[in-house]
Structure 1
Amino acid sequence: MKIGDKLNGQIVGIKPYGAFVELEKDKIGLIHISEVKAGYIDNIYKNLSVGQKVTVQIIDLDEYSQKISLSLRSLEEEGYISQPKHRFSNSRYKIGFKPLAKALPNWIDESLAFLKKDTPTN
């Protein structure tokens, strides 16, 4: 067995954090809840059941502890599309720091005037 191998197995236990899969050669691996499918899963019991046959991919092998990390998500089709990030500004305009550089002298004058106003005089 090595990272990247695809194996058939059967789910032998489910916990809120993941599912235990019995693989060939009497080895047991864990599918962490984040590796069940793309997107958010609030209840793993709705997606998997004990006795279910699954095809999994090895994503990590810890030789020291003999732990096998498995994934169903890595075998999914590229059907999941993440929501695009909303940007504060429009990235199509290449304006850089020009507006900030233009406003900076005014901000400095306002700040100095504010500081002079609040400074006690002797």
Structure 2
Amino acid sequence: MVDKVPAPSGVSVGDVLNGIVEHVAAYGAFIRLESGQKAMVHISELSHNYVKKVEDVLEVGQKITAKVIKIDEKARIDLSIKALQVKEPPARPVYREDDFEKKLTTFLKFSDEKIADLSKSKEVRSTKRKAGSGTTGKK
């Protein structure tokens, strides 16, 4: 039988809580919640953008608002700041119709030139063969 994780008093996954940054580590920040409980925000949960150092985003004493994303078997609270941020969609490349039209026109022009060159060389070869086929080399 699986035991249910005991939730810290009044906290459940999905709650949005306020707190103050108490300590910053290389892997995240420790937060003192308004209720007095401690929680942690992992570096990967700070922002949708790449974060090289936690100190680039948070500093000791800073007030934060975060969402509870996990409560583990030891009743440790994991928070996420990025879960409350609106993720902007990546910028779409600007599609210009003339780009395709221009490429197609260039391709057709180039291929027409190649076909014309091949036709000319084929005609030259066939006329040389015809001119040389009239003489057999015997007297």
Task: Please report the TM-score for the alignment, with normalisation by the length of structure 2.
Answer: 0.55
Please tell me the root mean square deviation across aligned C-alpha atoms, in Å: 1.9
- The counterpart of 1:77, out of the listed 70, 86, 91, is 86
- The alignment status of 1:36 with 2:46, answered yes or no, reads yes
Give the structure with the larger helix fraction.
2
Task: Please report the TM-score for the alignment, with normalisation by the length of structure 1.
Answer: 0.63
Distance in structure 2 (CA, Å) of the matches to 1:24 and 1:35:
20
Give unpaired runs (5+ residues) of structure 1: 84-122
CA contact 1:38–1:80 (8 Å) conserved in 2: no
- Mark the CA change 1:3 to 1:44 in structure 2 (over 3 Å): closer, same or farther: same
Deviation at 1:43, TM superposition (A): 1.2
Identity of aligned residues (%): 34
Distance in structure 1 (CA, Å) of the matches to 2:26 and 2:89:
23
User: Paired residue for 1:48?
Assistant: 58
Q: How many pairs are equivalent?
A: 83
Distance in structure 1 (CA, Å) of the matches to 2:75 and 2:91:
34
Give the structure with the larger strand fraction.
1
